[in-house]
Chain A
Amino acid sequence: MLDPLREAVRERLALDALDYEVPKASYRWPYMLGGITAFLIAILVVTGLYMGQYYNPTPLGAHDSVLYLITRVPLGDWVRSVHYFSAGAVVLAVTAHLGYVFWRRSYKKPREGTWWAGVAMAGLIFLFIVTGSALRYDQEGFEALAHFMSGGRLTGGLGTFFTESFTPSTSFLSRIFSIHTSLLPLAFLALMGLHFWLIRQLGIHADRSETGTFSKHATKLAGIGLLLFAGIGILAAVAPEGIGYPAVAGVEITKPFWPVLWVYGLENLLGAWGMILGPSIVFLFLGLVPLLDRGEDETPGRHGWVGWIGLALATVMLGLWLYGVFGAAQQHIGM
Protein backbone atom coordinates (compact mmCIF):
# COMPACT_ATOMS: atom_id res chain seq x y z
CA MET A 1 0.00 0.00 0.00
CA LEU A 2 2.87 2.34 0.76
CA ASP A 3 4.71 1.61 -2.48
CA PRO A 4 2.73 4.05 -4.70
CA LEU A 5 3.21 6.77 -2.07
CA ARG A 6 6.92 5.98 -1.80
CA GLU A 7 7.27 6.11 -5.56
CA ALA A 8 5.41 9.43 -5.73
CA VAL A 9 7.68 10.96 -3.07
CA ARG A 10 10.79 9.59 -4.78
CA GLU A 11 9.73 11.12 -8.07
CA ARG A 12 8.67 14.51 -6.67
CA LEU A 13 11.83 14.92 -4.58
CA ALA A 14 14.10 13.46 -7.27
CA LEU A 15 15.44 10.95 -4.78
CA ASP A 16 16.69 8.74 -7.62
CA ALA A 17 19.60 11.17 -7.80
CA LEU A 18 20.82 9.62 -4.54
CA ASP A 19 21.26 6.24 -6.22
CA TYR A 20 24.76 7.06 -7.37
CA GLU A 21 27.53 4.53 -6.98
CA VAL A 22 29.67 4.38 -3.84
CA PRO A 23 32.08 1.72 -2.53
CA LYS A 24 30.14 -0.99 -0.71
CA ALA A 25 32.52 -0.47 2.21
CA SER A 26 30.50 2.67 2.97
CA TYR A 27 27.76 0.42 4.39
CA ARG A 28 30.12 -0.52 7.21
CA TRP A 29 29.97 1.17 10.62
CA PRO A 30 33.30 3.04 10.51
CA TYR A 31 32.15 4.79 7.34
CA MET A 32 28.98 5.95 9.07
CA LEU A 33 30.83 8.01 11.71
CA GLY A 34 30.91 11.24 9.70
CA GLY A 35 27.23 10.93 8.85
CA ILE A 36 26.40 10.15 12.48
CA THR A 37 28.25 13.33 13.46
CA ALA A 38 26.17 15.30 10.95
CA PHE A 39 22.97 13.70 12.30
CA LEU A 40 23.90 14.67 15.86
CA ILE A 41 24.70 18.21 14.70
CA ALA A 42 21.17 18.36 13.26
CA ILE A 43 19.75 17.34 16.66
CA LEU A 44 21.86 20.05 18.29
CA VAL A 45 20.57 22.67 15.83
CA VAL A 46 16.92 21.78 16.42
CA THR A 47 17.20 21.58 20.22
CA GLY A 48 19.38 24.72 20.26
CA LEU A 49 16.79 26.66 18.26
CA TYR A 50 14.11 25.64 20.77
CA MET A 51 16.23 26.65 23.78
CA GLY A 52 17.23 29.90 22.10
CA GLN A 53 13.60 31.07 22.26
CA TYR A 54 13.81 31.13 26.05
CA TYR A 55 17.45 31.91 26.81
CA ASN A 56 18.33 35.37 28.07
CA PRO A 57 21.99 36.05 27.14
CA THR A 58 22.63 38.71 29.77
CA PRO A 59 24.57 38.23 33.00
CA LEU A 60 21.51 39.30 34.98
CA GLY A 61 19.03 37.02 33.27
CA ALA A 62 20.97 34.01 31.92
CA HIS A 63 20.87 31.69 34.92
CA ASP A 64 17.21 32.39 35.66
CA SER A 65 16.29 31.80 32.04
CA VAL A 66 17.96 28.36 32.12
CA LEU A 67 16.05 27.56 35.31
CA TYR A 68 12.91 28.78 33.59
CA LEU A 69 13.64 26.51 30.64
CA ILE A 70 14.10 23.53 32.94
CA THR A 71 11.12 24.14 35.21
CA ARG A 72 8.47 25.95 33.18
CA VAL A 73 8.93 25.43 29.44
CA PRO A 74 7.04 22.49 27.89
CA LEU A 75 9.63 19.73 27.28
CA GLY A 76 12.35 22.32 28.08
CA ASP A 77 14.11 20.09 30.59
CA TRP A 78 14.19 17.13 28.18
CA VAL A 79 15.17 19.21 25.15
CA ARG A 80 18.06 20.76 27.10
CA SER A 81 19.24 17.33 28.24
CA VAL A 82 19.00 15.97 24.68
CA HIS A 83 21.16 18.94 23.62
CA TYR A 84 23.67 18.19 26.38
CA PHE A 85 23.98 14.46 25.63
CA SER A 86 24.07 15.06 21.87
CA ALA A 87 26.98 17.46 22.39
CA GLY A 88 28.88 14.74 24.25
CA ALA A 89 27.97 12.19 21.56
CA VAL A 90 29.24 14.52 18.83
CA VAL A 91 32.63 14.66 20.52
CA LEU A 92 32.79 10.86 20.66
CA ALA A 93 31.62 10.48 17.05
CA VAL A 94 33.97 13.09 15.62
CA THR A 95 36.92 11.70 17.61
CA ALA A 96 36.22 8.20 16.30
CA HIS A 97 35.74 9.57 12.76
CA LEU A 98 39.02 11.51 12.86
CA GLY A 99 40.82 8.54 14.38
CA TYR A 100 39.56 6.12 11.70
CA VAL A 101 40.30 8.50 8.82
CA PHE A 102 43.78 9.06 10.29
CA TRP A 103 44.40 5.31 10.60
CA ARG A 104 43.15 4.75 7.01
CA ARG A 105 45.45 7.58 5.84
CA SER A 106 42.50 8.96 3.88
CA TYR A 107 44.01 12.45 4.03
CA LYS A 108 46.47 11.63 1.28
CA LYS A 109 46.39 13.17 -2.18
CA PRO A 110 43.88 14.20 -3.54
CA ARG A 111 41.83 14.33 -0.30
CA GLU A 112 43.88 16.84 1.68
CA GLY A 113 41.09 19.42 1.40
CA THR A 114 38.51 16.96 2.72
CA TRP A 115 40.78 16.31 5.72
CA TRP A 116 41.46 19.99 6.39
CA ALA A 117 37.76 20.86 6.23
CA GLY A 118 37.12 18.01 8.67
CA VAL A 119 39.86 19.12 11.06
CA ALA A 120 38.54 22.69 10.94
CA MET A 121 35.06 21.38 11.78
CA ALA A 122 36.53 19.41 14.70
CA GLY A 123 38.10 22.69 15.90
CA LEU A 124 34.74 24.40 15.62
CA ILE A 125 33.10 21.57 17.60
CA PHE A 126 35.69 22.20 20.33
CA LEU A 127 34.69 25.88 20.31
CA PHE A 128 30.99 24.94 20.31
CA ILE A 129 31.60 22.86 23.43
CA VAL A 130 33.46 25.55 25.37
CA THR A 131 31.13 28.40 24.37
CA GLY A 132 28.05 26.29 25.02
CA SER A 133 29.18 25.27 28.49
CA ALA A 134 29.58 28.95 29.43
CA LEU A 135 25.97 29.80 28.58
CA ARG A 136 24.48 28.02 31.58
CA TYR A 137 26.06 30.79 33.65
CA ASP A 138 26.27 28.82 36.83
CA GLN A 139 29.62 28.56 38.61
CA GLU A 140 30.99 26.23 35.93
CA GLY A 141 29.72 28.43 33.12
CA PHE A 142 31.04 31.57 34.74
CA GLU A 143 34.48 30.02 35.14
CA ALA A 144 34.40 28.91 31.49
CA LEU A 145 33.81 32.55 30.53
CA ALA A 146 36.64 33.64 32.80
CA HIS A 147 38.91 31.10 31.08
CA PHE A 148 37.99 32.56 27.70
CA MET A 149 38.92 36.03 28.88
CA SER A 150 42.11 34.81 30.51
CA GLY A 151 43.11 32.95 27.34
CA GLY A 152 42.27 35.99 25.26
CA ARG A 153 44.47 38.21 27.40
CA LEU A 154 47.34 35.69 27.35
CA THR A 155 47.45 35.74 23.57
CA GLY A 156 47.55 39.53 23.41
CA GLY A 157 46.08 41.28 20.37
CA LEU A 158 45.20 37.96 18.73
CA GLY A 159 42.89 37.01 21.55
CA THR A 160 41.12 40.36 22.03
CA PHE A 161 38.05 38.94 20.33
CA PHE A 162 37.72 36.52 23.23
CA THR A 163 37.86 39.16 25.94
CA GLU A 164 35.36 41.57 27.41
CA SER A 165 37.52 44.47 26.20
CA PHE A 166 36.60 43.76 22.55
CA THR A 167 33.61 46.08 22.99
CA PRO A 168 31.89 47.85 25.88
CA SER A 169 28.59 47.91 23.98
CA THR A 170 27.45 44.46 25.09
CA SER A 171 28.27 41.88 27.73
CA PHE A 172 30.83 39.16 27.02
CA LEU A 173 28.17 36.54 27.74
CA SER A 174 25.94 38.01 25.01
CA ARG A 175 28.82 37.82 22.55
CA ILE A 176 29.60 34.23 23.51
CA PHE A 177 25.91 33.43 22.92
CA SER A 178 26.09 35.13 19.53
CA ILE A 179 29.31 33.26 18.66
CA HIS A 180 27.74 29.95 19.75
CA THR A 181 24.47 30.43 17.89
CA SER A 182 25.41 32.33 14.74
CA LEU A 183 29.12 32.73 14.01
CA LEU A 184 30.15 29.12 14.70
CA PRO A 185 27.10 27.52 13.03
CA LEU A 186 27.59 29.58 9.87
CA ALA A 187 31.30 28.72 9.71
CA PHE A 188 30.44 25.08 10.40
CA LEU A 189 27.79 25.03 7.68
CA ALA A 190 30.24 26.43 5.13
CA LEU A 191 32.88 23.86 6.05
CA MET A 192 30.36 21.03 6.04
CA GLY A 193 29.27 22.08 2.56
CA LEU A 194 32.89 22.01 1.40
CA HIS A 195 33.50 18.66 3.14
CA PHE A 196 30.45 17.03 1.50
CA TRP A 197 31.25 18.59 -1.89
CA LEU A 198 34.77 17.18 -1.81
CA ILE A 199 33.54 13.76 -0.70
CA ARG A 200 31.01 13.76 -3.56
CA GLN A 201 33.60 14.80 -6.12
CA LEU A 202 36.63 12.85 -4.91
CA GLY A 203 34.85 9.91 -3.33
CA ILE A 204 35.79 8.21 -0.09
CA HIS A 205 39.05 6.39 0.42
CA ALA A 206 37.85 2.78 0.45
CA ASP A 207 38.06 -0.50 -1.43
CA ARG A 208 36.25 0.06 -4.75
CA SER A 209 36.13 -3.55 -5.93
CA GLU A 210 32.50 -3.82 -4.81
CA THR A 211 30.03 -1.01 -5.20
CA GLY A 212 26.59 -0.10 -3.88
CA THR A 213 24.41 2.99 -3.90
CA PHE A 214 24.55 6.09 -1.76
CA SER A 215 20.82 5.84 -1.06
CA LYS A 216 21.38 2.53 0.76
CA HIS A 217 24.22 4.08 2.75
CA ALA A 218 21.94 7.03 3.60
CA THR A 219 19.06 4.72 4.58
CA LYS A 220 21.25 2.78 6.99
CA LEU A 221 22.68 6.05 8.31
CA ALA A 222 19.19 7.43 8.91
CA GLY A 223 18.30 4.24 10.79
CA ILE A 224 21.38 4.50 13.00
CA GLY A 225 20.76 8.22 13.55
CA LEU A 226 17.15 7.70 14.60
CA LEU A 227 18.12 4.88 16.97
CA LEU A 228 20.82 7.12 18.41
CA PHE A 229 18.27 9.88 18.90
CA ALA A 230 15.97 7.42 20.67
CA GLY A 231 18.86 6.35 22.94
CA ILE A 232 19.80 9.94 23.74
CA GLY A 233 16.12 10.71 24.34
CA ILE A 234 15.90 7.89 26.89
CA LEU A 235 19.12 9.04 28.57
CA ALA A 236 17.79 12.62 28.72
CA ALA A 237 14.56 11.38 30.29
CA VAL A 238 16.13 9.18 32.98
CA ALA A 239 19.23 11.28 33.79
CA PRO A 240 18.40 14.91 32.96
CA GLU A 241 21.21 17.41 33.05
CA GLY A 242 21.19 19.74 36.07
CA ILE A 243 22.49 23.23 36.66
CA GLY A 244 24.73 24.66 39.37
CA TYR A 245 24.02 27.59 41.64
CA PRO A 246 24.31 31.17 40.40
CA ALA A 247 27.94 32.09 39.90
CA VAL A 248 30.10 33.81 42.45
CA ALA A 249 32.83 35.90 40.88
CA GLY A 250 36.45 35.71 41.96
CA VAL A 251 36.67 31.99 42.71
CA GLU A 252 37.67 28.99 40.62
CA ILE A 253 36.40 25.71 42.01
CA THR A 254 34.70 23.74 39.23
CA LYS A 255 35.88 21.44 36.46
CA PRO A 256 34.71 21.89 32.88
CA PHE A 257 32.41 19.75 30.69
CA TRP A 258 34.01 16.28 30.28
CA PRO A 259 35.23 16.66 26.65
CA VAL A 260 37.44 19.55 27.75
CA LEU A 261 38.92 17.80 30.76
CA TRP A 262 42.15 16.93 28.90
CA VAL A 263 42.77 20.69 28.55
CA TYR A 264 41.94 21.10 32.23
CA GLY A 265 44.51 18.40 33.07
CA LEU A 266 47.13 20.27 31.04
CA GLU A 267 46.21 23.49 32.86
CA ASN A 268 46.87 21.64 36.12
CA LEU A 269 50.43 21.14 34.88
CA LEU A 270 51.15 24.35 32.94
CA GLY A 271 48.70 26.86 34.35
CA ALA A 272 46.52 29.02 32.09
CA TRP A 273 48.88 28.54 29.12
CA GLY A 274 47.71 24.92 29.00
CA MET A 275 44.39 25.97 27.45
CA ILE A 276 46.26 27.71 24.62
CA LEU A 277 49.06 25.22 24.07
CA GLY A 278 47.07 21.96 24.26
CA PRO A 279 44.46 22.61 21.56
CA SER A 280 47.02 24.53 19.44
CA ILE A 281 49.46 21.60 19.36
CA VAL A 282 46.74 19.03 18.63
CA PHE A 283 45.08 20.99 15.83
CA LEU A 284 48.41 22.12 14.36
CA PHE A 285 49.52 18.49 14.17
CA LEU A 286 46.22 17.42 12.60
CA GLY A 287 46.50 20.23 10.07
CA LEU A 288 50.05 19.25 9.15
CA VAL A 289 49.38 15.52 8.80
CA PRO A 290 48.76 15.53 5.00
CA LEU A 291 51.98 17.53 4.52
CA LEU A 292 54.08 15.31 6.78
CA ASP A 293 52.88 11.94 5.45
CA ARG A 294 53.76 12.39 1.76
CA GLY A 295 54.76 8.90 0.57
CA GLU A 296 53.02 7.05 -2.29
CA ASP A 297 52.12 4.11 -0.07
CA GLU A 298 48.52 4.36 1.14
CA THR A 299 48.38 1.24 3.28
CA PRO A 300 46.29 1.93 6.40
CA GLY A 301 48.32 2.05 9.60
CA ARG A 302 51.70 2.49 7.87
CA HIS A 303 52.24 6.16 8.66
CA GLY A 304 55.80 5.76 9.92
CA TRP A 305 56.88 8.45 12.38
CA VAL A 306 53.77 10.57 11.73
CA GLY A 307 51.67 7.73 13.07
CA TRP A 308 53.84 7.43 16.17
CA ILE A 309 53.48 11.15 16.86
CA GLY A 310 49.71 10.83 16.43
CA LEU A 311 49.60 7.85 18.79
CA ALA A 312 51.78 9.67 21.33
CA LEU A 313 49.54 12.74 21.22
CA ALA A 314 46.40 10.62 21.64
CA THR A 315 47.99 8.80 24.60
CA VAL A 316 49.03 12.06 26.25
CA MET A 317 45.54 13.48 25.73
CA LEU A 318 43.99 10.40 27.30
CA GLY A 319 46.41 10.66 30.24
CA LEU A 320 45.63 14.35 30.69
CA TRP A 321 41.92 13.61 30.48
CA LEU A 322 42.19 11.00 33.23
CA TYR A 323 44.25 13.47 35.29
CA GLY A 324 41.54 16.07 34.71
CA VAL A 325 38.83 13.61 35.78
CA PHE A 326 40.49 12.21 38.88
CA GLY A 327 42.80 15.04 39.97
CA ALA A 328 41.64 17.59 42.51
CA ALA A 329 40.14 20.85 41.24
CA GLN A 330 42.81 23.52 40.96
CA GLN A 331 43.04 27.22 40.26
CA HIS A 332 44.54 28.13 36.90
CA ILE A 333 43.77 31.71 36.07
CA GLY A 334 44.18 33.43 39.41
CA MET A 335 40.61 34.73 39.63
Chain B
Amino acid sequence: MRDRVMRRMVLLVSAGVLMGAVHPEAILKSTQSSVEAGQALPLVGEKFDGGMTVNLVLLGALTEYTLGDVTADDAGTFTLDLSIPANVRPGQYQLIALADDGDRAAVMDVSILAAASDTSNEAPDGEGEHSEDMREGAGARTDEMPIERSTTGAGWGLIGLLIGLSGGVGVALLRGSAEASS
Protein backbone atom coordinates (compact mmCIF):
# COMPACT_ATOMS: atom_id res chain seq x y z
CA MET B 1 0.00 0.00 0.00
CA ARG B 2 2.75 2.38 1.04
CA ASP B 3 4.76 1.43 -2.06
CA ARG B 4 1.83 2.24 -4.30
CA VAL B 5 1.46 5.68 -2.76
CA MET B 6 5.18 6.30 -3.14
CA ARG B 7 5.10 5.20 -6.78
CA ARG B 8 2.22 7.58 -7.50
CA MET B 9 4.04 10.45 -5.84
CA VAL B 10 7.18 9.78 -7.90
CA LEU B 11 5.03 9.69 -11.04
CA LEU B 12 3.36 12.99 -10.17
CA VAL B 13 6.69 14.71 -9.47
CA SER B 14 8.19 13.33 -12.69
CA ALA B 15 5.20 14.55 -14.69
CA GLY B 16 5.62 18.01 -13.18
CA VAL B 17 9.31 18.09 -14.11
CA LEU B 18 8.54 16.89 -17.64
CA MET B 19 5.83 19.53 -18.12
CA GLY B 20 8.29 22.18 -16.99
CA ALA B 21 10.74 20.96 -19.62
CA VAL B 22 8.13 20.98 -22.39
CA HIS B 23 6.92 24.50 -21.47
CA PRO B 24 10.04 26.26 -20.19
CA GLU B 25 9.54 29.64 -18.55
CA ALA B 26 10.24 32.35 -21.10
CA ILE B 27 12.54 35.22 -20.18
CA LEU B 28 12.78 38.88 -21.16
CA LYS B 29 16.07 40.59 -20.37
CA SER B 30 17.97 43.71 -21.20
CA THR B 31 21.36 45.18 -20.53
CA GLN B 32 19.49 48.26 -19.19
CA SER B 33 17.03 48.51 -16.35
CA SER B 34 15.94 51.98 -17.44
CA VAL B 35 15.49 53.89 -20.66
CA GLU B 36 14.49 57.40 -21.61
CA ALA B 37 11.12 57.85 -23.27
CA GLY B 38 11.69 58.18 -27.01
CA GLN B 39 14.81 55.99 -26.92
CA ALA B 40 15.30 52.29 -27.66
CA LEU B 41 15.67 49.50 -25.12
CA PRO B 42 17.93 46.61 -26.15
CA LEU B 43 15.79 43.56 -25.50
CA VAL B 44 16.42 39.84 -25.61
CA GLY B 45 13.79 37.12 -25.37
CA GLU B 46 14.73 33.53 -24.53
CA LYS B 47 13.06 30.19 -23.90
CA PHE B 48 9.91 31.06 -25.85
CA ASP B 49 8.28 28.37 -27.95
CA GLY B 50 9.92 28.28 -31.39
CA GLY B 51 8.13 30.62 -33.83
CA MET B 52 5.91 31.98 -31.08
CA THR B 53 4.60 35.54 -31.58
CA VAL B 54 4.12 37.69 -28.52
CA ASN B 55 2.67 41.14 -28.03
CA LEU B 56 4.91 43.49 -26.02
CA VAL B 57 3.03 45.70 -23.57
CA LEU B 58 4.35 48.32 -21.17
CA LEU B 59 2.14 48.24 -18.06
CA GLY B 60 2.45 51.01 -15.46
CA ALA B 61 0.46 51.92 -12.37
CA LEU B 62 -1.68 54.36 -14.32
CA THR B 63 -1.08 53.75 -18.00
CA GLU B 64 -0.56 50.94 -20.49
CA TYR B 65 1.19 51.13 -23.87
CA THR B 66 1.10 48.47 -26.57
CA LEU B 67 4.49 48.38 -28.27
CA GLY B 68 3.92 45.79 -31.01
CA ASP B 69 4.48 42.13 -31.85
CA VAL B 70 7.69 40.16 -32.01
CA THR B 71 8.22 36.57 -33.19
CA ALA B 72 10.75 34.19 -31.68
CA ASP B 73 13.01 32.13 -33.98
CA ASP B 74 13.04 28.34 -34.07
CA ALA B 75 15.25 28.31 -30.97
CA GLY B 76 12.68 30.41 -29.12
CA THR B 77 14.79 33.56 -28.93
CA PHE B 78 14.56 37.09 -30.29
CA THR B 79 16.71 40.20 -30.09
CA LEU B 80 15.56 43.72 -30.86
CA ASP B 81 15.96 47.38 -30.00
CA LEU B 82 12.52 48.12 -28.59
CA SER B 83 11.43 51.68 -29.35
CA ILE B 84 9.83 53.38 -26.35
CA PRO B 85 7.37 56.04 -27.55
CA ALA B 86 8.27 59.60 -26.56
CA ASN B 87 4.85 60.07 -24.94
CA VAL B 88 5.35 57.32 -22.36
CA ARG B 89 4.85 58.75 -18.88
CA PRO B 90 8.04 58.42 -16.78
CA GLY B 91 7.69 55.80 -14.07
CA GLN B 92 8.17 52.18 -13.20
CA TYR B 93 6.67 49.65 -15.58
CA GLN B 94 6.37 45.98 -16.26
CA LEU B 95 7.34 45.01 -19.81
CA ILE B 96 5.10 42.07 -20.58
CA ALA B 97 5.24 39.58 -23.44
CA LEU B 98 1.64 38.50 -24.00
CA ALA B 99 0.91 35.24 -25.78
CA ASP B 100 -1.96 34.93 -28.29
CA ASP B 101 -4.26 33.58 -25.61
CA GLY B 102 -3.56 36.57 -23.35
CA ASP B 103 -1.22 34.67 -20.99
CA ARG B 104 1.82 36.46 -19.68
CA ALA B 105 4.65 34.54 -21.33
CA ALA B 106 7.36 36.68 -19.71
CA VAL B 107 7.67 39.83 -17.62
CA MET B 108 10.52 42.19 -16.73
CA ASP B 109 10.68 45.42 -14.73
CA VAL B 110 11.84 48.56 -16.49
CA SER B 111 12.03 52.22 -15.47
CA ILE B 112 11.06 54.80 -18.05
CA LEU B 113 12.87 58.06 -17.48
CA ALA B 114 11.74 61.48 -18.66
CA ALA B 115 13.17 62.43 -22.02
CA ALA B 116 15.99 64.94 -21.61
CA SER B 117 13.88 67.62 -23.28
CA ASP B 118 10.71 66.80 -21.29
CA THR B 119 9.73 69.42 -18.74
CA SER B 120 6.09 68.42 -18.41
CA ASN B 121 4.46 68.17 -15.03
CA GLU B 122 0.97 67.13 -15.89
CA ALA B 123 -1.74 65.03 -14.45
CA PRO B 124 -1.92 61.66 -16.20
CA ASP B 125 -5.03 62.82 -18.01
CA GLY B 126 -3.52 66.21 -18.80
CA GLU B 127 -6.20 68.04 -16.82
CA GLY B 128 -5.65 71.17 -14.84
CA GLU B 129 -2.73 72.59 -16.75
CA HIS B 130 -2.04 76.28 -16.24
CA SER B 131 -4.30 76.54 -13.19
CA GLU B 132 -4.43 79.90 -11.43
CA ASP B 133 -2.91 78.19 -8.39
CA MET B 134 0.28 77.57 -10.29
CA ARG B 135 3.10 79.43 -8.61
CA GLU B 136 6.32 80.54 -10.15
CA GLY B 137 9.13 78.06 -9.80
CA ALA B 138 9.73 75.66 -12.67
CA GLY B 139 6.10 74.57 -12.80
CA ALA B 140 5.80 73.42 -9.19
CA ARG B 141 2.24 73.58 -7.90
CA THR B 142 0.62 73.75 -4.48
CA ASP B 143 -2.90 72.76 -5.51
CA GLU B 144 -4.24 69.23 -5.53
CA MET B 145 -4.57 67.10 -8.63
CA PRO B 146 -8.05 66.59 -10.03
CA ILE B 147 -8.73 62.93 -9.37
CA GLU B 148 -11.54 60.73 -10.58
CA ARG B 149 -12.14 58.60 -7.54
CA SER B 150 -13.38 55.18 -8.39
CA THR B 151 -15.08 53.71 -5.35
CA THR B 152 -17.76 51.39 -6.72
CA GLY B 153 -21.26 50.83 -5.42
CA ALA B 154 -20.09 47.63 -3.74
CA GLY B 155 -17.18 49.58 -2.24
CA TRP B 156 -19.52 52.20 -0.80
CA GLY B 157 -21.71 49.40 0.52
CA LEU B 158 -18.76 47.81 2.30
CA ILE B 159 -17.66 51.18 3.69
CA GLY B 160 -21.20 51.83 4.92
CA LEU B 161 -21.31 48.39 6.50
CA LEU B 162 -17.98 48.92 8.27
CA ILE B 163 -19.03 52.33 9.56
CA GLY B 164 -22.47 51.10 10.62
CA LEU B 165 -21.13 47.99 12.32
CA SER B 166 -18.41 49.92 14.08
CA GLY B 167 -20.79 52.64 15.24
CA GLY B 168 -23.46 50.14 16.32
CA VAL B 169 -21.09 47.95 18.32
CA GLY B 170 -19.48 51.08 19.78
CA VAL B 171 -22.82 52.40 21.04
CA ALA B 172 -23.76 48.95 22.41
CA LEU B 173 -20.47 48.70 24.32
CA LEU B 174 -20.84 52.20 25.75
CA ARG B 175 -24.43 51.49 26.85
CA GLY B 176 -23.35 48.19 28.36
CA SER B 177 -20.51 49.78 30.30
CA ALA B 178 -22.82 52.60 31.50
CA GLU B 179 -25.38 50.08 32.78
CA ALA B 180 -22.68 48.04 34.48
CA SER B 181 -21.32 51.15 36.22
CA SER B 182 -24.70 52.36 37.48
CA distance A223 to B163 in the complex (A): 13
Complex interface: chain A residues within 8 A of B150 (CB):
71-72, 77
The answer to whether B92 touches A56, judged by C-beta atoms less than 8 angstroms apart, is yes
B142 at the interface (CB under 8 A from A): yes
Give Cα A317 to B135, complex, Å. Answer: 29
Query: Which of A59-67, A127-135, A148-156 has 4 or more CB atoms under 8 Å from chain B?
Result: A59-67
Q: Are A244 and B92 in contact (CB under 8 A)?
A: no
* Min CB gap B147→A, angstroms: 6
Chain A residues in 8 Å Cβ range of B143: 244-245
Q: Is A246 an interface residue (CB 8 A)?
A: yes
Complex: how many Å from CA A67 to CA B176? 43
Which single residue of chain B is at the shortest CB-CB distance from A226? B170
Within 8 A of B (CB), among A54-112: 56, 58, 60-61, 64-65, 67-68, 70-72, 74-75, 77-78
Answer whether residue A253 sits at the interface, using C-beta atoms and an 8 A cutoff.
yes
Q: How far is the CB of B11 from chain A (nearest CB, A)?
A: 39
Choose one: A71, A138, A212, A229; the contact of B149 (CB below 8 Å): A71
Question: Is A234 located at the chain interface by the 8 A CB criterion?
Answer: yes
| Cβ proximity bits A136-170 to B, threshold 8 Å, 1 near / 0 not | 00111000000000000000000000000000000
Chain A min CB distance to B151 (Å): 6
For chain A, residues 229 to 258, give those with C-beta under 8 angstroms from any C-beta of chain B: 229-230, 233-234, 237, 240, 242-248, 250-251, 253-254
Say yes or no: is B140 at the interface (Cβ < 8 Å to chain A). Answer: yes
Asked whether B170 lies within 8 Å of A65 as measured between CB atoms, the reply is: no
Q: With contacts A56-B92, A67-B147, A220-B174 known, is A253 near B137, CB below 8 A? A: yes
Asked if A216 CB lies within 8 Å of chain B CBs, one says yes
The answer to whether B147 touches A242 (Cβ under 8 A) is yes
Q: A64, B177: Cβ atoms under 8 Å?
A: no
The answer, among B111, B159, B163, B177, for a CB contact under 8 Å with A216, is B177
Contact of A226 among B89, B111, B166, B181 (CB under 8 A): B166
Known: A233-B159, A243-B144, A244-B143. A61 touches B138 (CB 8 A): no
Q: Given that A230-B163, A233-B163 are known contacts, is A68 also in contact with B62, CB under 8 Å in the complex?
A: yes
The answer to whether A226 and B173 have CB atoms under 8 Å apart is yes
Number of interface residues of A (CB under 8 A): 48
A223→B166 CA distance, assembly (Å): 9
Q: Is B61 on the interface with A (CB-CB < 8 A)?
A: yes
B62 close to A64 (CB less than 8 A): yes
CB contacts (< 8 Å) of B92 on chain A: these are 56, 58, 60-61, 64
B65–chain A nearest beta-carbon distance, Å: 14
Q: Is the CB of B145 within 8 A of A251?
A: no
Is B139 in the interface zone, CB < 8 Å from A? yes
- The reply to whether B158 and A227 form a contact with Cβ atoms under 8 Å apart is no
Contacts known (A64-B91, A219-B176); A139 close to B140, Cβ less than 8 A: yes
Q: Are A244 and B176 in contact (CB under 8 A)?
A: no
CA distance A239 to B180 in the complex (A): 37
- Chain B residues near A220 (CB, 8 Å)? 173-174, 177
Could you list 13 further interchain pairs (A-B, Cβ under 8 angstroms) beyond the known A223-B174, A244-B143? A56-B92, A67-B147, A68-B62, A216-B181, A226-B173, A227-B171, A229-B166, A230-B164, A230-B166, A237-B163, A242-B144, A244-B145, A248-B140
Residues of A within 8 A of B (CB): 27, 56, 58, 60-61, 64-65, 67-68, 70-72, 74-75, 77-78, 138-140, 212, 216, 219-220, 222-230, 233-234, 237, 240, 242-248, 250-251, 253-254, 329
Show 14 A/B contacts (Cβ-Cβ < 8 Å), sorted by A: A58-B92, A71-B150, A74-B152, A75-B158, A139-B141, A219-B176, A223-B169, A223-B174, A223-B177, A226-B166, A227-B170, A230-B164, A243-B144, A329-B142
